[in-house]
Chain A
């Protein structure tokens, strides 16, 4: 099965890298590139910005050239959903840390991951979440005294 080349990962990555290159080059062009004292703050970024644009063009063009022989590999959507779900749980937990503190949000994240991503029973998820949070408190909070995000309730 042939795939739509515009949905190809390399093409998307190349387009993103190209866009970053354009942004870097345009931003760096507003700064001093070279003056009588030598190179300015825009000199080095201008170099790798242009490099990014050229490389992304090569990456995209090479994918278009290779398209005729490229067959689509099945995408493991379930796997990506598990990885994506883990990342979302992590981001939500990080966002909640300023409100409910590290230990509670970490316990909730663990509970969510064990229940939804790993498909374990509710009891197992609850126990793992609770014990992980308590374990982290004992190791990092009490023994190592590492400063961690504190919530509105003071822990």
Chain B
């Protein structure tokens, strides 16, 4: 039997000004009356995005379905609609049985309450009976490995303990449908493995799991079926290996370009502004993602508004909130006339990890001794793929992910130490 049947589901968000349809559009009318915001209104109407665009899908009971796709593809929105957090704009979805969602870690926890109290509070939020929780209490605590801290307020918990308790709660609520959104990324490797195992287990026992992840390895290991979303549509569906392969090809070939959109931030000053950034292969072609073994370029476009401006710009690169490195022009560049300027930086292959990186551009511009600063946060984000699978020969618990923020290929030389040999021999005599 299908446990989820989605028919022509769409979800439309309005960007910029908030949706004012509540109270029958009364607030809109009030505004018109007062002549506020009227000028911008047309612009707002135009700025709608289809987070989900006419999706149809059915999921058999007990399936572990992987959901992949770029940022903003609609993965989280799909889970939010299925979890009844937000209503769809059109279409229907039938869900059979108790739905437990894990969209953010520990969101239902109250920091002042102890682990024990939070288990009961959370269960109540999930709509689970107190008696049922009591029955499963030991399982929850065991799986989360927090026996010692069960009567400690959770604000003293480490992020790992938080995650373990949250995950253990969700999975022990015996959901018919479990919705998990990239929640395992913060846990330690050993726990990630136990979670994945456990999710597979509950899948085998009839729970339907929808699992959003950027971690292709986890998806491949866990899921028998997989869908790939892009711009709110399902672009691939079927066997996990086929879908992940198609997705990687798609990511590598679709140009990845970040354009500065918000005018309000510090992306421009009186002398210059940062316009965009894009990812290029070493043959100067636009690419969408990076093959780890190859060199690649990031190209930044700036405009100067005055003559004789000295640009001293660069970028910072982050992953999982960690600052990986910063690189700047070796010396300020003198832009004699106002116009567009491009700067390319080459990043060598075999330096980064297989993960997702975010780029912040910025720097200082000087005009006649007057210094001003520019910053463009999140101007570009991109994924890297280890298509040759050269790097980590380890299987099992020594998993590829979470093994650092860069993974340079370094030269190693391993030899037998003669002196050491001698010492040993001498000692033997």
Q: Do the two chains belong together in a single complex?
A: no
B residues contacting A by CB (< 8 A) are none
